[in-house]
Amino acid sequence: METRNIATIISDTRAGINRYLLQELKRLGIEGLAPSHGAILYHLFTNEQVTMKDLAKAVRRDKSTVTALVGKLVANGYVDKESSTLDQRTVYVRLSQRGQALQPVFEEVSRNLIDQMWRGVDEAEQRELVRLLKKIRANLP
């Protein structure tokens, strides 16, 4: 039964999205970014400064994963990290100028991806798919 393949279908879809994003980043000459950085950058586009703890919660990843991803973004000059003057255990993350310059590119790539994904899918089908995926996601840890 095809419904038993739902995890594979979702996984293959995510892999296709990641391939698309990598192709677009390469085409645009953006280096040092991976699809896994996307949620972090997107959150920083809409939040000037966040703690590592809040960032991990916002992107639904564990703190050690976010620490590694942010470390690569820092190394490539896209974000800056700064320790709190009140509590050295608290680390703030914000976009650098280079990171801020990515926002219009990010928006263009996102629009193109969405257009590509929804090609041949009408609005009612789009809403239904989103509704069902949210329902499935709520069933998982």
Structure tokens at 36: 């896994």
Q: Write the CA distances from 59 to 19, 21, 38, 52, 118, integer angstroms.
A: 20, 18, 9, 11, 24
**Which domains does the chain possess?**
34-99 (1.10.10.10)
The pTM (predicted TM-score) of the whole model is: 0.83
Q: So what's the pLDDT on residue 86?
A: 84
Looking at 39-103, which runs of residues are DSSP E strands?
Answer: 50-51, 79-83, 91-95
Q: How far apart are CA 69 and CA 61, in angstroms?
A: 10
Q: Given pLDDT bands bounded at 50, 70 and 90, which one contains residue 108?
A: very high
Find all residues with CB under 8 Å of 33, minimum gap 6, and list them.
Answer: 25, 41, 76, 78
- 1 — pLDDT class (breaks 50, 70, 90): low
Do 55 and 113 meet the contact criterion of CB atoms below 8 Å apart? no
